[in-house]
Amino acid sequence: MDYLLSDDEQRLYDDVCHFADTVVAPAAYDYDTERRLPMEIIAQMGEMGLFGLPYPVEYGGQGKDYMQLCLAVEALGRVDQSIGVTLEAGVGLGIMPIYRNGTDEQRAEWLPDLVAGRALAGFGLTEAEAGSDAGATKTTAVLDGDEWVINGSKQFITNSGTPITSLVTITAVTGESTRADGSTKKELSSIIVPTGTPGFTVGAPYDKVGWHTSDTHPLTLTDVRVPASNLLGQRGRGYADFLQSLDEGRIAFAALATGAAQGCLDEAVRYAKTRNVFGSPIGSHQHIAFTISRMQARVQSARLTWHDAARKLVAGRPFKTEASIAKLVAGEAAMENARAATQIWGGYGFLNENAVARHYRDSKILEIGEGTTEVQLMIIARELGFAA
């Protein structure tokens, strides 16, 4: 695969890096402390066309591809993971299922505002006992005439409670199917639930360790009624359809983690060159220089893995295992670099006003979200022929 960026890709990356450095970074401490998603920054991202990067011009998109989306996510993740994941989840989990599986009517209704960044959408899969094990889903949807009646709850749903959230697509048990051996399994389907629908309640935001700016809520659905036409894709294929978006999302998640690892590296280099101890910069000491060298190696490894997965996705080649490798490598790189950068910064690295402190708090979720490290290892092991 070709790991060199095209002129168009490099230009996009540089433009988003400039936006991140001049607009996002200077305000990051304030809105992190306030624990709010800065809608003014989201609006600017929409005006830049970031939410529409991988979508056709006919829907208001930029006509680019998933590689360019991931470049934008990495560029934002360097300075603020919360802003990066808002873009990643908004595009991959919010828009992509409707674009890929929606009817012409559903696309016409929802995509223009979502692609323009005027609206956000979430995807409600995770429950208290169902995440990696989607078969444990308890939320139900029953047809009553020409309406679905939905009851259940969801947890950890990104972009579900912002002022511009227009919908959440949820997975629900819509029946049972029979296997060849006569046993039954749950039939999971995806259904669009517009915000403001009676019975659809967005809970208080979580008190999270990190990602304070990212909008994350629990959801409760009590006798929620939506038209039968709000079924997204084929009945019974809700989880299967979501898995495709999840595989793609892991590449973008890896790009986000790579950005975080790069941001930690940048801060460590800057501090090691300017912080003097005993008459010389701390970077002149071999231990510090070697620590930063390892940080650089992690960034390079993480970037190559997500580039490989993204190039294969865009080329229409299998990428599932490569996506898991990228998620694994990049997530661990971000966590290790955050730890190293904080150590290099010393006491100043323990202050929330510094970017390394936010990265230290934020990076742990990169080993958990969109499939834990253990899930990625399971997928890779299966590819190697082990019954993990």
Residue type, 14: D
One-letter amino acid of 366: L
Q: pLDDT tens digits, residue range 67-77?
A: 999 999 999 99
What are the pLDDT digits (tens) for 87-143? 999 999 999 999 999 999 999 999 999 999 999 999 999 999 887 777 789 999 999
Active site residues: 370
Q: How far apart are CA 118 and CA 124, in angstroms?
A: 20
**Average pLDDT over the chain, rounded to an integer:** 95
CA 40 to chain CA centroid, nearest Å: 20
Among candidate residues 217, 202, 205, 170, the one with its CA nearest the CA of residue 189: 170
DSSP letter for each residue of 218-270: EEEEEEEEEEGGGEESSTT-HHHHHHHHHHHHHHHHHHHHHHHHHHHHHHHHH
Q: Give 358's contacts (C-beta < 8 A, 6+ positions apart).
A: 28, 29, 32, 80, 81, 210, 352
* Domain range 121-236, its CATH number among 3.40.50.720, 2.40.110.10, 3.10.450.40, 3.30.70.120: 2.40.110.10
In the chain, what percentage of residues exceed pLDDT 90? 91
Amino acid at 193: V
Backbone angles phi, psi at 138, to 5 degrees: -110, -20
User: What does the domain layout of the chain look like in residue ranges?
Assistant: 7-120, 121-236, 240-383
C-alpha span between 261 and 87 (Å, rounded) = 18
Own/partner long-range contacts of 17-21 (Cβ < 8 Å, ≥24 apart) = 17/75, 17/78, 19/44, 19/45, 19/48, 19/75, 20/75, 20/76, 20/78, 20/79, 20/80, 20/83, 21/79
* pLDDT-based confidence at residue 388 (cuts at 50, 70, 90): low
Query: Which residue matches tokens 């809970």?
Result: 203
Band of the pLDDT at 284, cuts 50, 70, 90? Answer: very high
Window from 58-67, 181-190, 280-289 with minimum mean pLDDT: 181-190
Asked whether the predicted pLDDT for residue 345 surpasses 70, the reply is yes
Distance CA 175, CA 234 (A): 13
Least Cα distance to 175 among 204, 201, 140, 207 occurs for 140
Give 215-260 pLDDT, tens digit per residue: 999 999 999 999 999 999 999 998 888 888 889 999 999 999 999 9
Parallel/antiparallel/unpaired status of strands 231-232 and 184-194: antiparallel
What is the C-alpha separation between 22 and 163, in angstroms, rounded? 25
Does position 182 have pLDDT exceeding 90, yes or no? Answer: no
What single-letter DSSP state applies at residue 139?
A: -
Q: For the domain covering 240-383, report its CATH number.
A: 1.20.140.10
Predicted local distance difference test score (pLDDT) of residue 103 = 97
The CATH number of the domain covering residues in 7-120: 1.10.540.10
